[in-house]
Amino acid sequence: MSAEPRHFLEIGDVSEDELLTILERAEEYKAAQHAGEDHEDLDGQTLGMIFQKPSTRTRVSFETGMTQLGGHAVFLGEDDIQLGRGEPLKDTSRTLSRYVDAVMARVFKHENIEVFAEYADVPVVNGLTDDAHPCQTLADLLTIREQEGGFEGVSAAWIGDGNNVAQSFVLGCALTDIDLTVATPEGYGIDDRVLERARELGGDPTVTHDPDEAAAGADVIYTDVWISMGQEDERDVRMQAFEGFQVCADLLERAPEASVMHCLPAHRGEEITDDVIESDRSVVFDQAENRLHAQKALLSWLLE
């Protein structure tokens, strides 16, 4: 029997040393690609990609990444496979394990990817759930490392909704000793279990409801949409609740040297202004590119 597969369902599934190994490998892959060098470390291997939610960056970065690594990716929409007709997750998981070398799944309920991983004989990667987006955090940390030259002494501010991206970022900052302050409206904060997990990982995130306080002196200011997929019916309530949490020029005056991050897609004019996302302070598209390099590093690390 082969060894138990290593899964990546949350950013806390890796240690600090393992995380740094993945980020260093991502930097190597990025340099190789920019130099036009081949790096087909997953030659002949196949990634199955399950999507219950639509995607731009997740799908294209994983599919392109497998191609650049010499492998192959198979897109599996929910209605393209038997999941859409009621096949149990554990049956799909065990079947795909006989066909592919790894699975990336982008689903709604976090418990679904946990069930999928429980029955899989190959590595399972969380491409996004309602609770977590660890692959995004890998790209975020790679971007911060590039911008700041490392993590020591770096301070970051999360401004906006305490959503899945925020929760993974909280854990990523804990692993890398980034000094993080999270500013959310009351009732939209980080789950208490995530904050406790961050403390277990060595972090001590500050929580506030004041975006100006969070932004003051930060090296990185990060935001995301206020209305995520599946929350469209909450739009009016959320727009009112998040008033004053926009990342705009006035907020950036609190952090004159800060880089601005956003995981995309952005609702320009809501959580972030057009002039900020287009400014020279924005590293949003470097961040988006880094999804590709970080995920290649993750896949090669899981499959080596």
26 in a structural domain: yes
Same domain, 79 and 183: no
Same domain, 199 and 60: no
Kindly name the residue from 45, 52, 68, 136 that is annotated as catalytic: 136
Same domain, 257 and 197: yes
Say whether 263 is catalytic: yes
Kindly name the residue from 145, 262, 291, 293 that is annotated as catalytic: 291
Kindly name the residue from 224, 287, 293, 295 that is annotated as catalytic: 224
Say whether 106 is catalytic: yes
135 carries a ligand binding annotation? yes
- CA dist 228 and 282 (Å) reads 22
300 carries a ligand binding annotation? no
Same domain, 143 and 128: no
Same domain, 151 and 274: yes
| Burial grade of 57 (CB within 10 A; 0-12, 13-18, 19 or more) | buried
Same domain, 67 and 205: no
Say whether 209 is catalytic: no
21 in a structural domain: yes
Contact, 83 vs 89, CB < 8 A? Answer: yes
Same domain, 85 and 159: no
Provide the edge-to-edge strand list for the sheet that holds 102-106. 72-77, 46-51, 102-106, 124-128
Band (2; pLDDT cuts 50, 70, 90): low
Same domain, 41 and 119: yes
* Residue whose token pair is 């692959």: 135
229 carries a ligand binding annotation? yes
pLDDT at residue number 227: 92
173 in a structural domain: yes
Same domain, 279 and 296: no
254 carries a ligand binding annotation? no
Who's near 12: CB < 8 A, 6+ residues apart?
171, 175, 197, 201
Name the DSSP class of 282: B
Band (171; pLDDT cuts 50, 70, 90): very high
* Residue whose token pair is 């960056």: 57
pLDDT at residue number 114: 97
User: Can you give the CATH number for the domain in which 14 is found?
Assistant: 3.40.50.1370
What secondary structure does DSSP assign to 198-241, as a single string? HHHTT---EEES-HHHHHTT-SEEEE--SS-TT-GGGHHHHHHH
Amino acid at 259: S
pLDDT at residue 1 tops 50? no
Looking only at the bridges linking them, the beta strands covering 179-183 and 155-159 are parallel
pTM: 0.96
CA 285, 46, 33, 302: dihedral to nearest 10 degrees? Answer: 80
Say whether 39 is catalytic: no
Say whether 291 is catalytic: yes
Provide the edge-to-edge strand list for the sheet that holds 220-223. 206-208, 179-183, 155-159, 220-223, 259-262
Kindly name the residue from 106, 145, 238, 262 that is annotated as catalytic: 106
Domain count, the chain: 2
Kindly name the residue from 133, 145, 197, 238 that is annotated as catalytic: 133
Q: What are phi and psi of 50, to 5 degrees?
A: -95, 130
149 in a structural domain: yes
Omega prior to 265 cis, within 30 of 0 = yes
209 in a structural domain: yes
1 in a structural domain: no
137 carries a ligand binding annotation? no
Band (161; pLDDT cuts 50, 70, 90): very high
298 in a structural domain: yes
Same domain, 177 and 236: yes
pLDDT at residue 31 tops 80? yes
Same domain, 12 and 39: yes
- Give the rounded percent of residues in the chain with a pLDDT score beyond 70: 99
248 carries a ligand binding annotation? no
How many whole angstroms from its chain centre is CA 193?
Answer: 18
pLDDT at residue number 84: 59
106 carries a ligand binding annotation? yes
Boundaries of domain holding 204:
134-288
Contact, 294 vs 139, CB < 8 A? Answer: yes
178 in a structural domain: yes
Band (54; pLDDT cuts 50, 70, 90): confident
246 carries a ligand binding annotation? no
Same domain, 248 and 264: yes
| Burial grade of 173 (CB within 10 A; 0-12, 13-18, 19 or more) | buried
Region 18-24: mean pLDDT is 98
pLDDT at residue number 231: 80
